[in-house]
Amino acid sequence: MKKIISIILLLASLGANERVISLSPSITEIIYALNKGDTLVATSTYSLYPKAALSLPVIGGYENPRLEKVLSFKPSLVVGQTFNAKALKRLEHFGIKTLMLDLKSIENIKKSISILDKYINYKTDLKSKKLIKNIDDALENAHKFKNSTKQSVMVVYGLRVDLRSGIYIAGKNIFFNEIINECGAYNAYTSNSTNQPVLSYENVIALNPDIIIILHSHATESTVNVNEALASWSSIPTNASKHKRIYIVDEDYLHIPSHRIALTINKLCGVINDKD
């Protein structure tokens, strides 16, 4: 009995001393969802959810964290994504424990939630199971939308009025492509060359998508005139324009590959199948 009590006290002590830094909004969200937000001492820019994250110190952009600031918080664990590989490697030279997660695909998001749960909840994954079940439930509901007539979908990152160049869209090797497929449609961009293709006005015409979904973030694009931007997109001769199937979706979770991808699946399936 004394040994069991000692182990419990040790784990409680470890939890109390945990000082975690998140290098991306996705990881910040997952840590809070695992009820370990109290261990976070800092995070990256654009960590806007939940509201409690807004009070955390910022260590820089999620692609270029300021390492000297990270070190100043004396973290016991720094968690990043695959694009943080160099930063995490440098932190290891200072004796900092790090964890790198892959959040590109739905399956990897689920695995990462489970891995992170075990790291910060001491080798248990009870909390992550519920989050993963929510994602699985969303995928199961997505299958109900499938029909015999598949349409091509183009998911666009960001809203702007000038569309003459630099239109960023979702490519093949990323979770948006999976969601499009799960919703019974297919990605208008078929090349495997890059996860985030950059198109011109002419490229969009050539793809001729049946549905265009524009991911708008009011938090970072508050000055964009939505009506003018929609008019610009509607002026491009595509099937989406012809059949008035251009949608501007403004939800803060859409860009974030976290447990809230369950909401993204539900939202995009509704839009794609005109049920939203």
Is residue 52 classed as helix, strand or coil in its secondary structure?
helix
For 70-116, the pLDDT digits (tens) are 999 999 999 999 999 999 999 999 999 999 999 999 999 999 999 99
Same structural domain for residues 121 and 180? no
Q: Check whether 9 has a pLDDT greater than 80.
A: no
Last residue of one domain, picked from the residues 62, 95, 128: 128
- For 217, other C-beta atoms within 10 Å of its C-beta total 19
| Among the listed residues 131, 129, 135, 127, the one whose alpha carbon sits nearest the alpha carbon of residue 105 | 135
For 210-226, the pLDDT digits (tens) are 999 999 987 677 788 99
Q: Of 16-30, 32-46, 213-227, where does mean pLDDT reach its minimum? A: 213-227
For residue 136, is it within any domain?
A: no
- The model's confidence at residue 164, banded by pLDDT at 50, 70 and 90, is confident
For residue 41, what is the domain's CATH number?
Answer: 3.40.50.1980
Same structural domain for residues 181 and 259? yes
In angstroms, the CA 135 to CA 105 distance is 12
Same structural domain for residues 266 and 163? yes
Q: Check whether 121 has a pLDDT greater than 90.
A: no
For residue 3, is it within any domain?
A: no
Mean pLDDT computed over 163-176: 91
Same structural domain for residues 119 and 160? no
On whether the CB atoms of residues 175 and 115 are closer than 8 A, the answer is no
For residue 236, is it within any domain?
A: yes
Last residue of one domain, picked from the residues 128, 159, 183: 128
For 127-163, the pLDDT digits (tens) are 899 999 999 999 998 877 666 578 999 999 999 999 9
For residue 223, the model assigns a pLDDT of: 87
Give the domain extent around 239.
150-272
Same structural domain for residues 156 and 267? yes
Is residue 214 classed as helix, strand or coil in its secondary structure?
strand
For residue 194, is it within any domain?
A: yes
